Amino acid sequence: MNIRLTVDGHPVAATLNDSATARDFATLLPLTLKVSDFHKTERIADLPRRLSTSGAPDGAAPKAGDLAYYVPWGNLALFYRGASHSSGLVILGRVTDDGIERLATAEQVTVETVS
């Protein structure tokens, strides 16, 4: 599924994968999220509810540009740098390469589906 992030007023294209968790995330859209930096690696934001993780792997090693759900905290993670394997991390999709740099300084992100 194609989605659009608006990162501090700038549009960024992204794609969600076909996992049950990504499909559940899509039911929350549109969302406007205040994001904060976490370990100079990712932007994180609270979601309005926890997502289904049925059939999800136990963890993942995110790459720059990955959109992910962190199960223990129930939040969205937008990676602008890669990181080591993390238990409880479910990859939801990816932003286009040109949007990765914008994530590093983002304060507000709006996420919506693209028709």
d(CA 32, CA 72): 22
Per domain, the residue ranges of the chain are: 2-113
Q: What is the pLDDT of residue 115?
A: 60
Q: What pTM, to 2 d.p., does this model score?
A: 0.94
Rounded to whole angstroms, the Cα distance separating 67 from 90 reads 9
The Cβ of residue 27 has, within 10 Å, a number of other Cβ atoms equal to 9
Q: In tens digits, what is the pLDDT along the chain, a chain of 115 residues?
A: 999 999 999 999 999 999 999 999 999 999 999 999 999 999 999 999 999 999 999 999 999 999 999 999 999 999 999 999 999 999 999 998 788 998 998 899 999 998 6
12: tokens are 């960024």
Range 2-113 classified under CATH 2.40.100.20 = yes
